[in-house]
């Protein structure tokens, strides 16, 4: 009996990390859609800022094309919840008020994070590996 329980666990673990909405695969096939709310020096409307540069480098490392979608925090959170964007950038810190509506990456410096749709573990895994390798002071 213990063998079958262990076998069932191993079979279900093979699908990890989960990507219930295929966000990462969609980004590979089409584009990585990144929501941006202006917050200088992190982000700006002309695709500049340290978070924009960081995410462009992440996309390059994964061979992903990017599309930046600009808007207010509340509009972009709604798009994130509807999975119309995969990542939200805007100088958010790890104590963001949006924690109930979005998943958080690990900080890319000691404080700031990116927001992602809740449950998107595969995208988060790739992003966090990149953050780990390129963590800023």
* Overall number of domains in the chain: 1
Residue 26 domain-assigned (yes or no)? yes
- Identify whether 3 is part of a domain: no
State how far the Cα of 35 lies from the Cα of 68, in Å rounded to an integer. 6
Mean pLDDT of the chain: 86
CATH number at residue 104: 3.40.190.10
Strands 32-36 and 66-70: parallel
The range of the structural domain enclosing residue 65 comes to 20-134
Residue 4 lies in a domain: no
Residue numbers in the chain where pLDDT is lower than 70: 1-22, 137
Kindly report the pTM of this predicted structure.
0.83
Predicted confidence (pLDDT) per residue in 41-57, tens digit? 999 989 999 999 999 99
- Which ranges of 15-120 does DSSP label H, i.e. alpha helix? 23-29, 50-61, 73-81
- How confident is the model at residue 27, as a pLDDT? 74
Determine what percent of the chain is predicted with pLDDT higher than 70: 83
Find the angle CA(44)-CA(46)-CA(47) to the nearest 5 degrees.
75
């Amino acid at each position: 009996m213990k063998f079958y329980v262990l076998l069932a666990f191993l079979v279900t673990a093979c699908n990890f990390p989960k990507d219930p909405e295929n966000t990462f695969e969609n980004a590979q096939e089409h584009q990585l859609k990144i929501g941006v709310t202006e917050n200088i020096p992190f982000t700006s409307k002309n695709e500049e800022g340290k978070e924009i540069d960081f995410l462009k480098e992440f996309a390059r490392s994964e061979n992903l094309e990017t599309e930046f979608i600009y808007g207010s925090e509340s509009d972009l959170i709604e798009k994130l919840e509807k999975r119309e964007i995969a990542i939200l950038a805007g100088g958010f810190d790890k104590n963001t008020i949006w924690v109930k509506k979005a998943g958080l990456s690990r900080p890319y410096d000691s404080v700031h994070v990116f927001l992602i749709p809740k449950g998107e573990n595969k995208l988060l895994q790739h992003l966090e590996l990149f953050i780990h390798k390129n963590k800023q002071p």
